[in-house]
Structure 1
C-alpha cells in the first residue's frame, strides 16, 4: 500500500476516534490568532527556521499550546518532500498594545515562538523553481465573523524561498522579517491604521498585497498532524459579500500600502475579523519568494473621540496662520518665535505636540511646551507653546515645510491634527575665518635646514575654530613636519616646524595646506592658506682615482700579479663637488684582508678622502686561486652614488724548467764519477717547491716490484745500496699529488 494512502487511512481512523470522544465532551477550539514563518541565513549552509504563532490568551485553552510544531519543506513544481523538521518552542510572551492606556481585557494575545537550525546543502537545494515551507494547524477562533465555520477553520503557515545556488553561484537570502504583532483593536466608524511594513536584512525590495487566508488539510478532528501535506492548500471560505479584496466590512474597507505595508480600514461592523497579507520579495527585479501572515482584528463600539486642534498665531498679530496661504519670513534681527495653541473638546485629554520636517533636514525648532492635559480639574482648556526657529536655520532661498502635529490619547488609536507651516529662513550673517602666517615666501630649504613659521586664525563672529594641516599629495607627518597649536583669545595660534631630512628629496616642491574652519549652524566655513616649500637638492657622483697599474676601470676587473714574497702598493683618492662626507673602504671577496697579507689605511673626510693599500704576496692567493678586493668610495648624502673598483691579486708561479733526471749510475767503478743518483742539481731541474706543491718522497723499486729505497729528503743521494747491476724504477711524489716516474740503471 502506498505511504500516502496509508497516511490518509490513518487520518480517517484517528478522525473517527476523535469524533467518538467529542460526543462525550464539548469541542474546544485552539483559538489561533495568526502567525508567519521566518527563515534567516546564518553561515555556510545553515539557516534558522522560526514559526511565530499568535494565540488568544483570553479564550484559548492552555492545552492547545504545542511544545513543538513540525514544518515541512517541499520542492516547488514537483511537490517533492525534502525535509520534515520539528520546531521547538523557545518563548511565550504577551503582545503589547500601541497605547497601554487603551488595553482591553477581552483582547490579550500571546506570541509563541518555535525555532530550529536547519541545513540546506547546495547540491540538494538547487531547483530553479525554488521551495516552499508549510506548517498546518487547526483551529481558529470560534467567534470570527467574516468566514464560514470559524471553529473548524484551520491555518497553514506558508512561505516560499529561492534555491540556495543559482547560475553556479551561492544565493544567500533571508526572508523579510515583517509585521510587528498586532494587539490593538479598532473602533467602529473610526479610521484604524497600523504599520505592517517589514525589514529585509539583504536590502531586497518588498511588495505587499491582501490574500485569502489558507485553510489547508487539518480539521478539528485532526488538528495537529505529524507533518504538513504538500500544496495545494485550500483557502478559508468567506461569508457572502466578502473576498480577498474586501476582507473586513468598512468604508473604506481593509487595504494595505503596496510598498509601505501600512494597513488601513474604517470598519462599519462590530466583530472579530480574520485577514491575511502577503509580502513578496524581489532582488534586482527577480522574484525570490514570499511570506504570508494571517491575523485578526477585533472591532468594538467606542465612545466618540473628538479630534484635537492646533492653531498657530502669526508673530506680531492676533491672526491665526492659514496653511497654504501664509508664509513665515524669518530674517536676521527679528523675532523667530511663534505662538501655538492646542486643545481638545474631550474631557481629561492628554495632548502631545511633535514636529516633522517635510522637505528639509537640519536643526529643528524648539517647543516650550511638548505635552499637557486639558479639560481636567485644575487644568486649562487650551495649552500654549512657543515654537522658536534656530538662528542658524537657512532655507537656502527656498521655502521649507514643517508639520506641527498634536495627538491625543484616545482609544483605540490617537487622533491627530496637523498644521503645515511654510517658512523662509535667512540666518544671521557670518563671516569666514581669517588666517595669517609669518612665512616669508618663497621658502627654500636644503637637507638639514629647520623651517619654522607661525599661523594665526581668528573668526570675526567669534565662532569656535579648528586649525589643520594637510599636504597636497603627501602626508606632512610622514616627512616629520608638525603643527603645534594653542589658544589665543577666541582664536588659535599655530607653530609649523620641519627639520628637512632625506625623506624630502623625493619631490622638488611641497605644498603645505593650512585650513582654519568654523562651523556656524553646522555648515563648514573654511579659509585655506597654501605655503610652498622648494627643496634644493642635487648630487654629483664623487670621483675615485687610483694608482693601480694598469688603471682600474669601473666596469672591469684589473689583475695584479706578484711572485711569492713580492710587495704591491697603491694609493686611492676621492673627491666630491658638494663636499659631502666621503668614506673609502676595501673588502675581500670571501676573505679577510689581514689574513691574506693585505693592509688598507683610509683617511676619510668631507669632500676628500685618501687611502693606501699594501699587499705582501703569499700562498693564500694561490690556495684561493686568486684574491678579489672591492674598493668603494661612499658619500654621506640622501641619494648616495658610490664608486667601486675591483682588483684581482694573483701570485706568479716559479718558471718551470724541463725535468731531465739522470738515468744511469756507476757506483762500482773506481773513477769516482757518477757514483750516486740525485736530483738536487741544476741539470735535473726537479720542479721547485711552491706553496702547497712540495717534494714529498722518492721510492725506488726493483724490476720485480720490491722497494729498495725511500727518502723524504729533496736532496737525497742513492748509491745503489750494493745492489746488483740492472734497471731500477723510481716514483717521485709531491704534496699536491703530482707524480714523476722513470728508470735508473746501475752499471758495472
Structure 2
C-alpha cells in the first residue's frame, strides 16, 4: 500500500504539472493580427504573420518561438502545404502621442516569417487559395464578445492563382498599416487610419467583419496545423453585431475606400473588432486580408477644445468664415493675425494648413507651435499667416483650412477656420534674353567650323533664371551642340558651342531655340529667341586623268605585254574644292608587288599624282590575267570617288611548227649525221622542258638529255627504228626516228 501511495502521489503531481503548463500556454494574450504575403521573385514569396501580443496582461509563456501557417485551395479545401514560421522580430507598437501612454495598455508586435514557393504548375486553381493560422486565446477582459478567454483567433488571407490565361499572375497582398496602440475616450470622437498600401496598385476596399474564432481552444491553444475552412466566428454580446462592434454615437465604422476608422464610444471597456481589406484588379476581386485588433475605451480627463480667431489686415472685426473673403492685391498687406487660446493649463498648440480646393505654394506661419497659460506669459498664442507675394488665384476663390490642435489625450482637439481668399500677385516681368549671335542671321558655317556665341538671361525682379536650348525638329546634343551656363542673382550667362561635322550636311538650316525661364511662385515665365545656322556645303567630284587606255564598250581595257616588256602609265587627280585627295591601286585577289606591279602615289590637297609600272612575269600567266582598280578618293563629307580598272595579260612567245626529223645517217660522211630538235617549243613560265629520252623498239632507254640543243649521233647503235619521248612540265611529245647507215 505505501508503495502504491507513492506511485499515486507521483502520478498526481505529474498531472498537476501538466495542467499548470497547459494553463500557462493557453493564457489569454492575443490582441489581434494579420497575415501578409509578398512576392519576392519568380515563384518565391515571403509569408508573414503579424501577431499583436498584450505586453501587460499576456503570459510570457504564451509567446511562441514559431507558428505554422497552412495553405489551402479554396474550391476544394485541399491542403497545399504547411509552413513553419520562425519568430523574426519582437517590438513594441508605438503610441501616436507618447505623452498619452497609459500603464494598462502596451502591445508587442511579433513577426513570424519565412520564404515559401508557389510553383506555377501547382497553384493554378481559378478559385484561388487561402492561408490560415489558428491560435488561442484572446484577452479575457474583452467586453464585446462572449467567453473571450476561451476564444481563439484565426489569422486569414486569400490570394489568387499564380497563373492566369497561361501567363504568370503576380500579386502581393495589401499591407494594412499601422497597428493601433492608442485608446479612445468615452463620449469623445476617436478616429484612426487603417488604410493600406498595395505593391501592385490594386484597388482596396475596406469593411467591418466578425472576428474568426476557428478550431483552437483552451484545451488545444496551438494546433499543430490549421484546419481547413469554415472557421466559426466569435459570439457577440447581446445587442452587438458586425455593424455595432463598439457601441457609440456613431458606432464603430470604417470608410470604404480610405480605411479611416471612427467611433464615439459611450461605454468603458476593451473591445475587439475586425476589418477586412479586399483587393480588386480591373474590377475583379483577387484577394483579401483580415485584421483583428482591440480598442480600449477609458474615462479621460476633460480636454477643452482650443479656439482661434483670424484678424484680416485693416479690419477690427475678426474674420467670419463663410461670409468674408480675403482679397490680396499688389502692394497690400498679405498677412493675417491669428490668436489662439485654450482653457486647459499648459496646453501646447500646433498650427497646420490644409488647402481645400487648390495646390501650390502655401502661406507661412511666424509661429508654428507654442504653449498657452505658460508661467509669466499671456493666455493666448499669437501668430502671423503670410501669403506669398506671387500667389495668383486667377480670379478664383481659394479655400484654406487654418487648423489649431492641442496635445490632449488620446487625440488632439482641433479648431478650424476656413479662409476664403483671392490673390493678385505683385507685378512680375518676364526675363529678357539677348545673344551675341548676329546681327546678320542666319549664321553660316561649313563642316569643321566651330560656332560659338553667348546668351544672357536677365530677370528684372531678380528671380533665378535658367537657360534652355532645343532644336526645331532635331536634338542639339545628337549633333554635338552644347550650352554651358553660369548663374548669378537674376542673371544667367550661357556659352553655345558647336563644332560642325559631316552629320550636319544633310540639313541645310538648323534652328536653335533658346529660352530664358524663371519660375516665381512655381509659375513659369519665359522669353525665347531663335538662332538659325545655315550649313554651307557643296562638293564637285574630283577629276581623274590617266595615260591608261580608255574603256572599251563599257569594259575595262586590256593591256598585253610580253615577259620582261615593262608597261608604264601615269594618273592625275584634280579637285576644284581643294579637298585632300588620295590615289590608290588594288589588285583583284592578288598582291601588286608579287605580280611585278609598282604603284607610287603623291597625294595632297586638291591634287594627287601617281606612277604605275608593270614588269610582266609568270604571275599574270598563272592567274590567267590581272585586274587592277585605281581609285581617286577625296576627304570630304559626301565623297564622290573616281575609279578606273584595267586588265593585264602576258603575251605568250610565238613557237614555229614542231616538225622533227625522222631519219639521220651517222655513216661518217658528215651529212645528216645527228638527230637534233632545233624547233622544240620554247620554255614559257610553267611550260618548261624536263627531258628527252630515246628507246629501242623493246623499250630499252638508250639516250637521255635535258639539253634542248642536244645532238645525238646514234651512239653506235645498229640501224633501225627508235622511239623518242619529249617531256615538258605540262605536256609530252612522242615519235620515231630511224638510224640509216
> Normalised by the size of structure 1, how large is the TM-score?
0.92
In structure 2, distance between residues paired with 1:160 and 1:566 = 98
Q: Are the structure 2 counterparts of residues 478 and 168 from structure 1 closer, same or farther at C-alpha, using a change threshold of 3 Å?
A: closer
Match of 1:686 among 672, 680, 689: 680
> 2:572: which partner in 1?
573
Q: Are the structure 2 counterparts of residues 553 and 535 from structure 1 closer, same or farther at C-alpha, using a change threshold of 3 Å?
A: farther
Following superposition, the deviation at residue 28 of structure 1 comes to: 6.1
State which drifts further: 76-85 or 461-470.
Answer: 461-470
In structure 1, distance between residues paired with 2:310 and 2:277 = 42
Q: Are the structure 2 counterparts of residues 336 and 23 from structure 1 closer, same or farther at C-alpha, using a change threshold of 3 Å?
A: closer
Contact between 1:435 and 1:528, CA under 8 Å: does it hold in 2?
A: yes
In structure 2, distance between residues paired with 1:249 and 1:483 = 69
State which drifts further: 362-371 or 617-626.
Answer: 617-626
Following superposition, the deviation at residue 442 of structure 1 comes to: 3.2
> 1:727: which partner in 2?
721
Following superposition, the deviation at residue 623 of structure 1 comes to: 2.9
| Secondary structure in 1 matching 2:557 | strand
> 1:95: which partner in 2?
93
> 1:737: which partner in 2?
730
1:105 correspondence with 2:82: no
> 2:71: which partner in 1?
73
Match of 2:305 among 307, 327, 331: 307
Match of 1:188 among 183, 186, 189: 186
> 1:86: which partner in 2?
84
Following superposition, the deviation at residue 340 of structure 1 comes to: 0.4
> 1:651: which partner in 2?
650
Following superposition, the deviation at residue 350 of structure 1 comes to: 1.4
In structure 1, distance between residues paired with 2:306 and 2:539 = 86
Q: How many residue pairs align between the two structures? A: 725
> 2:236: which partner in 1?
238
Contact between 1:434 and 1:516, CA under 8 Å: does it hold in 2?
A: yes
Following superposition, the deviation at residue 417 of structure 1 comes to: 1.0
> 2:520: which partner in 1?
520
In structure 1, distance between residues paired with 2:626 and 2:376 = 114
State which drifts further: 655-664 or 378-387.
Answer: 655-664
In structure 2, distance between residues paired with 1:614 and 1:57 = 105
> 1:3: which partner in 2?
none
| Secondary structure in 2 matching 1:622 | helix
Following superposition, the deviation at residue 454 of structure 1 comes to: 4.0
Q: Are the structure 2 counterparts of residues 484 and 416 from structure 1 closer, same or farther at C-alpha, using a change threshold of 3 Å?
A: closer
Q: Are the structure 2 counterparts of residues 188 and 507 from structure 1 closer, same or farther at C-alpha, using a change threshold of 3 Å?
A: same
In structure 1, distance between residues paired with 2:368 and 2:498 = 56
> 1:7: which partner in 2?
none
> 2:8: which partner in 1?
none
Q: Are the structure 2 counterparts of residues 656 and 118 from structure 1 closer, same or farther at C-alpha, using a change threshold of 3 Å?
A: same
Following superposition, the deviation at residue 569 of structure 1 comes to: 3.0
Following superposition, the deviation at residue 637 of structure 1 comes to: 1.9
| Secondary structure in 1 matching 2:176 | coil
Q: Are the structure 2 counterparts of residues 32 and 442 from structure 1 closer, same or farther at C-alpha, using a change threshold of 3 Å?
A: closer
Following superposition, the deviation at residue 379 of structure 1 comes to: 3.6
| Secondary structure in 2 matching 1:506 | coil
In structure 1, distance between residues paired with 2:232 and 2:603 = 102
State which drifts further: 652-661 or 43-52.
Answer: 652-661
| Secondary structure in 1 matching 2:149 | helix
State which drifts further: 274-283 or 551-560.
Answer: 551-560
| Secondary structure in 1 matching 2:345 | coil
1:703 correspondence with 2:697: yes
In structure 1, distance between residues paired with 2:445 and 2:26 = 96
> 1:273: which partner in 2?
271
> 1:641: which partner in 2?
640
> 1:410: which partner in 2?
408
Structure 1, gaps ≥5 residues long = 1-16
In structure 2, distance between residues paired with 1:50 and 1:450 = 64
Contact between 1:213 and 1:276, CA under 8 Å: does it hold in 2?
A: yes
| Secondary structure in 1 matching 2:620 | helix
| Secondary structure in 2 matching 1:557 | coil
In structure 1, distance between residues paired with 2:212 and 2:485 = 72
| Secondary structure in 1 matching 2:175 | coil
> 2:556: which partner in 1?
557
In structure 2, distance between residues paired with 1:180 and 1:490 = 47
Following superposition, the deviation at residue 457 of structure 1 comes to: 2.7
Q: Are the structure 2 counterparts of residues 29 and 525 from structure 1 closer, same or farther at C-alpha, using a change threshold of 3 Å?
A: same
Following superposition, the deviation at residue 371 of structure 1 comes to: 1.4
In structure 2, distance between residues paired with 1:650 and 1:701 = 40
| Secondary structure in 2 matching 1:151 | helix
CA deviation vs aligned residue, 1:14-64 (integer Å, no higher than 9, x gap): xxx899937998996322111101111101111111111111111111111
Q: Are the structure 2 counterparts of residues 34 and 472 from structure 1 closer, same or farther at C-alpha, using a change threshold of 3 Å?
A: same
In structure 2, distance between residues paired with 1:98 and 1:452 = 61
> 2:740: which partner in 1?
747
Q: Are the structure 2 counterparts of residues 117 and 236 from structure 1 closer, same or farther at C-alpha, using a change threshold of 3 Å?
A: same
CA deviation vs aligned residue, 1:266-310 (integer Å, no higher than 9, x gap): 111111111111000111111111111111111111222211111
State which drifts further: 693-702 or 195-204.
Answer: 693-702
Contact between 1:18 and 1:221, CA under 8 Å: does it hold in 2?
A: no
Contact between 1:205 and 1:281, CA under 8 Å: does it hold in 2?
A: yes
State which drifts further: 476-485 or 181-190.
Answer: 476-485
CA deviation vs aligned residue, 1:546-596 (integer Å, no higher than 9, x gap): 3333x1379632211112222323333333343433333323334444443
Contact between 1:19 and 1:221, CA under 8 Å: does it hold in 2?
A: no
Spell out the pairing of 1:129-148 with structure 2 (5 A cutoff). Answer: 129-148=127-146
> 1:540: which partner in 2?
540
In structure 2, distance between residues paired with 1:416 and 1:105 = 26
In structure 1, distance between residues paired with 2:478 and 2:49 = 58
| Secondary structure in 2 matching 1:290 | strand
| Secondary structure in 2 matching 1:322 | coil
In structure 2, distance between residues paired with 1:711 and 1:602 = 50
Match of 1:64 among 62, 65, 73: 62
In structure 2, distance between residues paired with 1:524 and 1:23 = 73
Following superposition, the deviation at residue 666 of structure 1 comes to: 2.3
1:381 correspondence with 2:379: yes
> 1:251: which partner in 2?
249
> 2:663: which partner in 1?
664
CA deviation vs aligned residue, 1:44-94 (integer Å, no higher than 9, x gap): 111111111111111111111111111111100210011111111111111
In structure 1, distance between residues paired with 2:564 and 2:205 = 101
Structure 2, gaps ≥5 residues long = 1-14
> 1:42: which partner in 2?
40
Contact between 2:350 and 2:368, CA under 8 Å: does it hold in 1?
A: yes
State which drifts further: 487-496 or 81-90.
Answer: 487-496
In structure 2, distance between residues paired with 1:450 and 1:144 = 84
In structure 1, distance between residues paired with 2:486 and 2:115 = 60
What RMSD, in angstroms, separates the aligned Cα atoms of the two structures? 2.3
Spell out the pairing of 1:396-475 with structure 2 (5 A cutoff). Answer: 396-438=394-436, 439=438, 440-475=440-475
1:52 correspondence with 2:54: no
In structure 1, distance between residues paired with 2:611 and 2:22 = 125
Following superposition, the deviation at residue 448 of structure 1 comes to: 4.4
Following superposition, the deviation at residue 122 of structure 1 comes to: 0.8
> 1:504: which partner in 2?
504
State which drifts further: 38-47 or 565-574.
Answer: 565-574
| Secondary structure in 2 matching 1:101 | helix
Following superposition, the deviation at residue 338 of structure 1 comes to: 0.8
CA deviation vs aligned residue, 1:214-244 (integer Å, no higher than 9, x gap): 1111111111111011111011111111111
Contact between 1:553 and 1:645, CA under 8 Å: does it hold in 2?
A: no
Contact between 2:26 and 2:221, CA under 8 Å: does it hold in 1?
A: no
Contact between 2:568 and 2:613, CA under 8 Å: does it hold in 1?
A: yes
In structure 2, distance between residues paired with 1:488 and 1:384 = 38
Following superposition, the deviation at residue 605 of structure 1 comes to: 4.7
